[in-house]
Amino acid sequence: MSAIVGDEAVFAGDQAGHDEAVVALRTAILDKLTYHVGKRRAIATERDWLMATAIALRDQIIDRWLAGNEVTYQKGSKRVYYLSLEFLIGRLLFDNLNNMAKLETMRAALAGLDVDLDKLRALEPDAALGNGGLGRLAACFMESMATLDVPAYGYGIRYAHGLFRQVMKNGWQQEYPEDWLSLGNPWEFHRPEVNYDIGFGGSIEAVPISEAAYRHVWHPAETIEAVAYDTPAVGWRGRRVNTLRLWSAHPADPLRLDAFNHGDHAGALADQVRAESISKVLYPSDATPAGQELRLRQEYFFVSASLQDLVRRHIRAFGHIGNLSDKTAIQLNDTHPAIAVAELMRILLDIHQISWEDAWRMTRATFSYTNHTLLPEALEVWPVPLMERLLPRHMQIIYLINALHLGQVRREFPGDDRLLSSVSMIDEQQGRRVRMSHLAFLGSHRVNGVSALHTGLMRETVFHDLHSLFPERIVNVTNGIAFRRWLHEANPRLTRLLINTVGPEVLDNEAALTRLRPLATDVGFQKRFAASRTVNKLALSELIRRELEIRVDPTALFDVHIKRIHEYKRQLLNILEAIALYNAIRARPMDDWTPRVKIFAGKAAASYQQAKLIIKLIHDVAKVINSDPTVRDVLKIVFLPNYSVSLAEVIIPAADLSEQISTAGMEASGTGNMKFALNGALTIGTLDGANVEIKENVGDDNIFIFGLTAEQVTARRKLSLASEDLIAASPVLAEVLASVEFGVFSPDQPDRYHGLVNSLRHNDYFMVCADFDDYYATQRRLADLWRQPTDWWKAAILNTANVGWFSSDRSIREYAEEVWNVPTYTPQ
């Protein structure tokens, strides 16, 4: 079943006009098949049809894309530039068909050619441009900016092989390169004429320009070329089409011909390999010095290319750079692009000869910074020697920014050395490192958190002292999701029900969802709501059977935990609870248990051994439980490999229960929680991230909160990380840990999980043991509620009805008003 919105059936139009559009589109597809793909219909493969279909649609997008850019130039509009290391855009065929109102026209056009549109959809690879919530948020924001008519560019890297393709071998995660570009990308435009030199290393020359002034000239030791690839980013109803510009790294010279001619054929390509490694893989391991250097090279590479590009565009539009901050807003999506602050200062100072005071004023007025994490390892710091060697001019600028900043602090707070150390951009405690989050904070006029709780914790913890110096700088903009993607496209059955029930306005106005509230107790509507879920669960059950050869009961409670594998996201807590449930079922097999399928998906970072061990534990537990006849299909454990946007689009509409169980105070926001709630899944979660605001919107009775609060987590960590007392007081937990520790689930290697259990006993930083009993009890309450369908579906409907506020359109309106100072489209 395909998505059903954004088509002519939704927009008024007579049948004759529809038929003409079908014929025209069919002709265009055949034209692209012949003249672009180079095939005749008789020998065309499904892949050929996919390319022809995508390019025919792309042609219709281009007119609006170019027209929007021309209007922006004519009006002299302010532009927003969104710098992100990730853009997890997924597949674009149905996304663009929905937003361009062409879905049913395309389906009919292809049907007349004996081509199945849904089969083409399945052929399209997910764009390997991101990993998790950070990249998916960037994709949702790009769509919302176009929907709200905000002129914007997204800037990132065109990764040839993405993060990695996850393959499971005997329960262990194996990493292989993604190959999403191997057969071409029909959506992108290669722009070889848009290229910029990116320098690394070298020396700085101070060139006198007067008796009292010098101009600094950077002479890089190495130069790499950044080449642009553009992908149109289509807004809802095609209202606006913005640009996602991704950079690919190339050597300045593709081949050292002298070395090649002397027989050193491999050595002749060394510079090419070194240059192209920058855009090969997302998040290369930084466990080695070479890995650290590559990460920094990646970040500077895309930042420098993007800033050179936007400055060039600005001067072409306005003739000078003096009004850059009036016409440009640059959003740093997390700390990865923070070097942009020093790079823009370099461009203004060294290339355009702007004075230091004016350059710093323009820089701060232009930049804003979104912080996405409180985890120390994610608040990037770079060794000073590495920065001085790789980016010598930028370190000069950083030193001066820091000196002026600390001088001001010293004047205002004389003698407070602790404060000076805390707010300095150079961490002197750990071998001298540059705090990139401090650079981003000081170089921005606004710094935002991504949920109310996270923003409050930012002010209290990682930026406490900087917040005391600049109390107006930190603001909150809670994350949001693109309803077009995560409801209209991912769940067409529910969307059709919503249209038929509350009207087509629900497609354009997320607030219209509140009209469902009176229907939450309507038994007839509950049955229709549940029926749409059942069809989605059948589809997911078939995917599980096909991919894993595991049969699951589609009438069971689908309990879903899909996200990046990390200790703070606590997949470990979930699987330990599954073991406890398994033990209880075996102890009392004749009880009337609620059938449950626990569904996991997610990738662990390649070098994150503890997370990979947790994946192995999930598989080991699944192997035992799924093959135990005493369980009688009451409990099944499933781990779907190679988690992606497209996989999420199948899982989320089928979920009954959403696991949002991170250690309180550690999840900045989360957006998966919003996607599940929008589709009517109930949430079991801690008071963490946006769970707090979801609770406020859906009501206490319609979300299941357990565990320690962020304040209680902090207090317990100060007291002790040991959990022996908690384990001793919980017979259920003690039995679970003993079975894991002594090899019940790993008979081939009984001591496999000794270290894992030992860390829970003596260093339970993520509060797994502290929250276990409450989590287990809350799961039993949910199991009881599942057996009361009237109450369950009332809560599910109220979740969908009350989460309209979590639209990314709302988020972008807040950014536009409070951070960027740009207007947005308002529906009439």
**What is the per-residue DSSP string for 580-633?**
HHHHHHHHSTTS-PPPEEEEEE----TT-HHHHHHHHHHHHHHHHHHT-GGGTT
| Whether residue 561 lies in the annotated active site | no
Catalytic residue among 26, 280, 336, 372: 372
- Of the residues 64, 454, 533, 564, which is catalytic? 564
The catalytic residue among 243, 671, 800, 824 is: 671
Catalytic residue, candidates 165, 533, 570, 675 = 675
d(CA 718, CA 380): 25
Beta strand pairing call for 189-200 and 367-370: unpaired
Both tokens assigned to 260: 């090649």
β-pair partners for 191? 228
Q: In angstroms, rounded to a whole number, what is the distance separating the alpha carbons of residues 367 and 217?
A: 24
Q: Are 756 and 764 in contact (CB under 8 A)?
A: no
Cα(238)–Cα(162) distance, integer angstroms: 28
In the set 433, 533, 569, 596, the catalytic residue is: 569
Distances (CA, A) of 460 to 409, 468, 641, 807: 19, 10, 38, 27
Cα–Cα nearest to 650, from 490, 499, 503, 805: 490
Q: Among positive and negative, which fits the CA dihedral 699, 705, 708, 710?
A: negative
| DSSP state letter for 820 | I
- The one-letter code for the residue type at 437 is S
Half-sphere exposure of 776 (CA within 13 A, CB side): 22
Give the SS3 label for residue 85.
coil
List the catalytic residue out of 158, 435, 473, 563: 563
Verify whether residue 563 is a known catalytic residue: yes
Alpha helices of 163-256 — where are they, by DSSP H?
none
Specify the residue for token string 């059936």. 9
**Closest among 116, 124, 121, 113 to 28, alpha carbons compared:** 113
Total Cβ atoms within 10 A of residue 788: 10
Is position 564 annotated as part of the catalytic site?
A: yes
Long-range CB pairs of 631-634 (<8 Å, 24+ gap) are 631/582, 631/585, 631/586, 632/589, 633/553, 633/556, 633/595, 634/585, 634/593, 634/594, 634/595, 634/596
Catalytic positions are 372, 563-564, 569, 671, 675
